[in-house]
Structure 1
Amino acid sequence: MGNRRRVLVVEDEHTIAASIAARLRAEGYDVDLAHDGPAGVDAAERTRPDLVVLDVMLPGFDGLEVCRRVQARRPVPVLMLTARDDETDLLVGLGVGADDYMTKPFSPRELVARVHALLRRVERAGQSEPGQAPTVVGDLEVDAVQRRVRRAGVEAHLTPIEFDLLAYLAARPRAVQPRERLLAEIWGWGEPAGTRTVDSHVKALRRKLGADLIRTVHGVGYALEVAG
C-alpha cells in the first residue's frame, strides 16, 4: 500500500529488534531492521524511512553518531532507546536531532504510542498556513511558516520537536502550561510517565536560547517568560 509508513529499527539486541518489528508490523507499519551503526546509516539512506527507532549503544559506532549522520543527509523523526536514564546522554541525543527517547525496559504499547505521536506531529508541522505572520514575544521571533527561530536577531537551530514546543509556549506567553498538556498537545500522547521528556526538551531550549527563556513552575509545568 502506498500510504503505509516505513519505520527503521536500529537495535543490536536481535530479540528486542524482532519484538519491536513484530509489534509495529501488527500496527500496519512497514519495518526494516539494522543491527549496528554503519548498517543503520546505510539502511536509512536506502529505505528512506518515515521514522527511525534507534538504540544508543550499538556496535560499529553508537546511536548518537547514527542520528547525526542520518539527520545530516535527510531529516527524519528519531525515537532513541537508551538502557540508562542519564540526563546528560539524553540531552546529547536531543542535541544531535533525536525527537524523543525511551528508557529500557519499556512497554511495546508505549513505544507504539510514541511512534504514532511523532508521525502525527510531522503531519501537523506541514499544516502552517502560507503568509502566517511570525509570533514575536519580546526579543524572540518564531516563524511557523519557515520554521525558524531568532532571539535578539540571532538564529537558533532547533530540532523539529523543540520548535513545536517553543511555538506552543510562545503562542501563550507567560501562561503556565502543565507538563501533561504539553505532552498531549506536542507529542500527542498523555502518559504521565513521559513528563521527563518535556523536561529534557525544555533544558535543550534553554541551552540554545538562554536560561531565562522558560520559567519552571514547580509541580505544574512551564511558561515562556521573555522580557520586553
Structure 2
Amino acid sequence: MSADQPVAFVVDDEPAMLDIVTFALETQGFETESFRSAEAAWAALGRSRPELVVLDVMLPGASGITLCQRIKAKWDVPVMLVTAKGDVSDRIAGLEAEADDYIAKPFHPRELALRAQRLVRRTESARQVPTIVGGLELDPASHDVIVDSERVPLTVNEFKLLSALMSRPNVPLDFAQLLLLGWGESDRIGEREMIKAAIYRMRHKLEAAAPGSSAVIESVRGTGYLLRART
C-alpha cells in the first residue's frame, strides 16, 4: 500500500457489510482495517490513528454511539456512522456524540465512498490554517480556541460551529448556513437541537475564560446566530 493512501477503520459485526464497506472504500483509494466490535476498534486506535472511522451503530457489547463518544473525547478523528434506515433516534444520538457524518442502510457503496473522501478532505483542510477574528483564534491542530490569550478546549461540533461563525463575522447565519459552512451539508435530522446545545455550551466556555471578550455569539430571533466581533 502507498504511504499516501488514507486509512479507514471499518467497524461492523456483519461480515457481509464489512465486505461491502471495505470494497467501496478501497476502490476510492483508502487502505482499510476491519473490526467486528467496538472494543477491538478501540484497542487498535490506541496503537494508531486512521484518517476515518466508518462505524455501525448496532454492535455487540459497546454500541457504535458509545465508541464514537470515546473517540471524539480523545482524538480528532472523523467518524461516519452507519444507521438503520428511518431510525431517527440513532441519527440524533450520533450527532450528539459528535459524529461527523452518517449514512442510512441500505446505501449505494459509491455514495458511501464519495462521502468518506469528502469528509477526509474537509477535515484535513480545516486543520491547516488557524483562523483569527477579533479576539478569537482557532487552533485546528488541537481544536482549541484562544480567546483574549486564554486557551479554551472545544468539542468537535463546537469547533465546527465557531469556525462557521468566524467565517462570516457580524453576519446572521441560519441553521442551514451553519451546517453548510461547518459540515458541508444543509440538511441533518436533529440539526437545530444539536446546534443550540453546542452554542449554549460554547458561550459558557468563552464567557468563563474571558468575560467581556471582544467577540461574542449572539442569538438572532427567527434566524440563527452571529458572531459579533468588535474591533
The TM-score bracket by the shorter chain reads 0.7 to 0.9
When residues 156 and 216 of structure 1 are mapped into structure 2, their CA distance, relative to the original with a 3 A threshold, is farther
Secondary structure (helix, strand or coil) at the match of 1:24 reads helix
Aligned-pair RMSD on alpha carbons? 3.4
Once residues 221 and 97 of structure 2 are traced to their aligned partners in structure 1, the CA distance between those partners, rounded to angstroms, is 22
Equivalence map 1:167-182=2 (5 Å): 167-177=163-173
CA contact (8 A) 1:10 1:40 kept: yes
Name which of 201, 206, 210 aligns with 1:208: 201
Once residues 164 and 9 of structure 2 are traced to their aligned partners in structure 1, the CA distance between those partners, rounded to angstroms, is 29
Q: TM-score, with normalisation over the residues of structure 1?
A: 0.73
Equivalence map 1:30-179=2 (5 Å): 30-72=31-73, 74-83=75-84, 84-86=87-89, 88-94=92-98, 98-128=99-129, 134-136=132-134, 142-145=136-139, 147-149=143-145, 155=152, 157-159=154-156, 162-177=158-173
Name the counterpart of 1:224: 226
Amino acid across the alignment from 2:198: L
Residues 53-99 of structure 1: per-residue CA shift (max 9 Å, x gap): 112221121123322333455431111222221265134322xxx32
Once residues 216 and 101 of structure 1 are traced to their aligned partners in structure 2, the CA distance between those partners, rounded to angstroms, is 29
When residues 179 and 209 of structure 1 are mapped into structure 2, their CA distance, relative to the original with a 3 A threshold, is closer
Amino acid across the alignment from 2:43: D
Q: Could you tell me the percent identity over the aligned residues?
A: 31
Once residues 185 and 227 of structure 1 are traced to their aligned partners in structure 2, the CA distance between those partners, rounded to angstroms, is 18
Residues 107-131 of structure 1: per-residue CA shift (max 9 Å, x gap): 33332232122211222123215xx
CA contact (8 A) 2:10 2:33 kept: yes
Deviation at 1:33, TM superposition (A): 0.8
CA contact (8 A) 2:11 2:56 kept: yes
Q: TM-score, with normalisation over the residues of structure 2?
A: 0.72
When residues 213 and 82 of structure 1 are mapped into structure 2, their CA distance, relative to the original with a 3 A threshold, is farther
Once residues 89 and 100 of structure 1 are traced to their aligned partners in structure 2, the CA distance between those partners, rounded to angstroms, is 12
CA contact (8 A) 1:55 1:82 kept: yes
CA contact (8 A) 1:21 1:31 kept: yes
Q: Which runs of 5 or more residues in structure 1 are unaligned?
A: none
Amino acid across the alignment from 1:158: T
Once residues 128 and 147 of structure 2 are traced to their aligned partners in structure 1, the CA distance between those partners, rounded to angstroms, is 24
Residues 160-187 of structure 1: per-residue CA shift (max 9 Å, x gap): x541332222231342446666555443
Q: How many residues align?
A: 211
When residues 216 and 118 of structure 1 are mapped into structure 2, their CA distance, relative to the original with a 3 A threshold, is farther
Check if 1:25 corresponds to 2:26.
yes
